[in-house]
Structure 1
Amino acid sequence: MRHTNVGLLYFNKAKAYSGVTLISPLHGNETYLIGMTGEVLHKWIHPYKPGNYAYLLPTGNLLWAGETPNGPSPGGGKGGLLREYDWDGNIIWEYKDNNQHHDFRRLQNGNTIYIGWEKMPTEAQKRMIGAEAFSEAEGGVTWSDYLCEVNQKGETVWEWHAHSDLKIEDYPLHMMSTRKEFLHCNACHELTDGNLMLSFRKNSMVIVIDKKTKKVLKKWQNDDWGQQHDCQRLKNGNVLIFANGIHVPGGVFSSRVIEFDWDTGDEVWSFSGTPPWSMFSPNISGAQRVQNGNTLICEGLNGRFLEITKTGDVVWEFVNPWFANTDKGPNNSVFRVFRYGLSSPQISKRIKSL
């Protein structure tokens, strides 16, 4: 897709949530903090392109993952290097695992958790259900997900392994998925009670696992989500996801942001483009509920960001202007974006006005 306009496309100052937006273009080595009209207020420079994003900690430090040249990459989203930078770009902490992919979070206890890939044992691989036959990765390998929690010293203090901690037969893959991966976990979100919410792309499922027992506490699955990203629990108790809309029943190619009830799984709010196909990202992407109740959407593949009200009015629209030349042409894709208010702990006293 070739954008005819980039940068700020629309801004309703009266209704938008004023603040700064953090952007890490997927094919660049910089993270930008921009104002509401797109002016660059701050940036960090990295040794690699992101794997896949960065976000600000309450201290104002930047937690970032970079795509290292080594390690597996069976389904996109590869990282490998986790780094914490201070505001001036000094490295405060780092940890390397070439198998790390997609998501990583600084936990409430100060440790860091991340998703990684590992080869699925043959016995476990035989128990997989669904997906295209004979579609394994090179050498007949299926890659499975693990979670690893490390402390500030880089010591592993907790692990979880999908192939051994889940009953594989209860997680059939979509018939149009490949067997290169089992589940393809693309989000790991810590809840206030310390338990973990995970998003599985290969079967359009979100689960909650008990951190202590590793048992599954909650499970939601809906093929209409179309292999979602960025699951998170909101302050009102509901769950927010970016429903990518790929391989959905009926073949309607459009994306939605969906809020659903924690107890019932019923949809309570959603947003889609008008017409529906005008917002579509078959991969990556996310959403953030900001403090005034609006929702900031990252239509990742197209590098387009929308802030919308509860009633679906667009109050801010911006297209990532930082393109990189790739083997498939110019690319401005972004995995996730974040909005921070000027009085937030991440920004307070660092940027005083817009």
Structure 2
Amino acid sequence: MVVRPASLAMIFLVALSWLSSVTHSAADEPAADATPQSSIRHSFFVAGPDFTGIIGEDGSKEWDSGRGGARDGWVLPTGNVLIAWSDVVKEFTPGKTVVWEYKLDPTNKEIGTVQRLKSGMTLVTELGSNPRLMEIDSDGKIQVEFPLQPETDNAHMQTRMARKLDNGNYLVPHLLAFKVKEYTPEGKVVKEFATDAEDLGGREAKNWPFTAIRLENGNTLICLTNGNKVIEVDAEGNVVWKVSNEDLPGNPIDDACGGQRLPNGNTVITAYHAKKGVKLMEVTPEKELVWTYEGPNRVHHFQILTTNGLPLIGDPLK
């Protein structure tokens, strides 16, 4: 089922009002979830098991979708919010009007991820007996579709954060295959990045790739969920940067599902399994922990929106 977008003018007016509230910062008082030595404050979107919405720089809930358990999501340039749950994808205005919707095909079991593309199409992956990647237009018609190759029948573990690349291909993590695969629009695999190398601990380390991000330098950032580490690999798959609990005080990485590379070069990482303590952390290239979120909301995936009152510039690398 698809609902057509409302008028752009109306969305824009609502978005302006909402963005004004989201980008306000608690400039005169430090955020409770920042590390003591840090003056960094972030607002961010959360796709989490208990809460899916926007957390302000002061740690308060700025916007609530009304439903937890989300897999993936984005705050769009219009101010609308695009969210994927296991059974449905919805695009909301800031006022919570649903303006676009896609429901899981009954032949499959789960929706894995979502991404709004520059073309206006929406990328969606489905998991199950027919694992597939699709591009869907505003009328709900599938314009691109090809089968994925997850190397397992375990639907829940077939794939997660698929993303379209600037070259027109798609980057897709396959957890139990221990591989990130790059597909063409015809579904041909043209590149693979393995995550079960012995120097990463082999398969026993459970380095299941969950999020894969193609960086501007051509490298690929990969979050390894149960492996509790994040790696950056070059075009040949060689590890050129890695951060794990061996590098950070207090072992804060606890199920590194989601990740985002910020414009300043720092990397934000989830601790999805954590029910107390650190849920999100920001790490410098030198592996210094400079910001944490320790609020009550668990984080499956996320999008950093502002830093100290200023919106992030450019397309979010998440």
Q: TM-score, normalised by structure 1?
A: 0.68
- 1:146 counterpart residue number: 132
Tell me if structure 1 keeps the 8 A contact 2:133–2:147.
Answer: yes
The alpha carbon displacement at 1:308 in A equals 1.2
In 2, Cα distance between equivalents of 1:245 and 1:313: 22
Q: Secondary structure at the residue paired with 1:116?
A: strand
In 2, Cα distance between equivalents of 1:343 and 1:103: 24
2:65 pairs with one of 45, 49, 54? 45
Q: Secondary structure at the residue paired with 1:220?
A: strand
Give the letter for the 1:26 counterpart.
Answer: P
Tell me if structure 2 keeps the 8 A contact 1:285–1:298.
Answer: yes
Q: Which has the larger radius of gyration?
A: 1
Q: Secondary structure at the residue paired with 1:187?
A: coil
In 2, Cα distance between equivalents of 1:307 and 1:241: 15
The alpha carbon displacement at 1:88 in A equals 2.2
Give the letter for the 1:33 counterpart.
Answer: I
1:59 pairs with one of 74, 78, 91? 78
In 2, Cα distance between equivalents of 1:320 and 1:195: 37
**Worse-matched range after superposition: 222-231 or 150-159:** 222-231
In 2, Cα distance between equivalents of 1:298 and 1:321: 14
* 2:301 is the counterpart of 1:336: yes
The alpha carbon displacement at 1:287 in A equals 1.1
Gaps of 5+ in 2: 1-31, 201-205
Q: C-alpha offsets along residues 281-315 of structure 1, whole Å, 9 cap, x if unaligned?
A: 34x61111111111111111116110111111111
**In the comparison of the two structures, how many residue pairs are matched?**
266
In 1, Cα distance between equivalents of 2:192 and 2:163: 14
- 1:8 counterpart residue number: 33
Tell me if structure 1 keeps the 8 A contact 2:253–2:271.
Answer: yes
- Within 5 Å, which residues of 2 pair with 1:284-303? 285-302=257-274
Alpha-carbon distance change, 343 to 337 in structure 1, aligned in 2, over 3 angstroms:
closer
Alpha-carbon distance change, 191 to 39 in structure 1, aligned in 2, over 3 angstroms:
same
Give the letter for the 1:343 counterpart.
Answer: P
Tell me if structure 1 keeps the 8 A contact 2:210–2:258.
Answer: yes
In 1, Cα distance between equivalents of 2:37 and 2:119: 39
The alpha carbon displacement at 1:107 in A equals 1.4
Q: C-alpha offsets along residues 38-77 of structure 1, whole Å, 9 cap, x if unaligned?
A: 233x21333x4233132211222110123xxxxxxxxxxx
Give the letter for the 2:304 counterpart.
Answer: R
* 2:31 is the counterpart of 1:31: no
Alpha-carbon distance change, 32 to 155 in structure 1, aligned in 2, over 3 angstroms:
same
- 1:220 counterpart residue number: 193
Q: Secondary structure at the residue paired with 1:8?
A: coil
Tell me if structure 2 keeps the 8 A contact 1:11–1:315.
Answer: no
Same amino acid, percent of matched pairs = 23
- 2:23 counterpart residue number: none
In 2, Cα distance between equivalents of 1:293 and 1:81: 33
Gaps of 5+ in 1: 1-6, 67-78, 120-143, 174-178, 247-254, 323-332, 347-354
Tell me if structure 2 keeps the 8 A contact 1:58–1:345.
Answer: no
| Larger fraction in strand | 1
Tell me if structure 1 keeps the 8 A contact 2:127–2:159.
Answer: no
- 1:328 counterpart residue number: none
The alpha carbon displacement at 1:271 in A equals 1.1
1:278 pairs with one of 251, 254, 260? 251
Tell me if structure 1 keeps the 8 A contact 2:157–2:175.
Answer: yes
In 1, Cα distance between equivalents of 2:163 and 2:151: 23
Give the letter for the 1:105 counterpart.
Answer: Q
- 1:193 counterpart residue number: 167
Alpha-carbon distance change, 292 to 216 in structure 1, aligned in 2, over 3 angstroms:
same
Give the letter for the 1:155 counterpart.
Answer: K
Alpha-carbon distance change, 208 to 275 in structure 1, aligned in 2, over 3 angstroms:
closer
- Within 5 Å, which residues of 2 pair with 1:153-192? 153-162=139-148, 179-181=153-155, 184-192=158-166
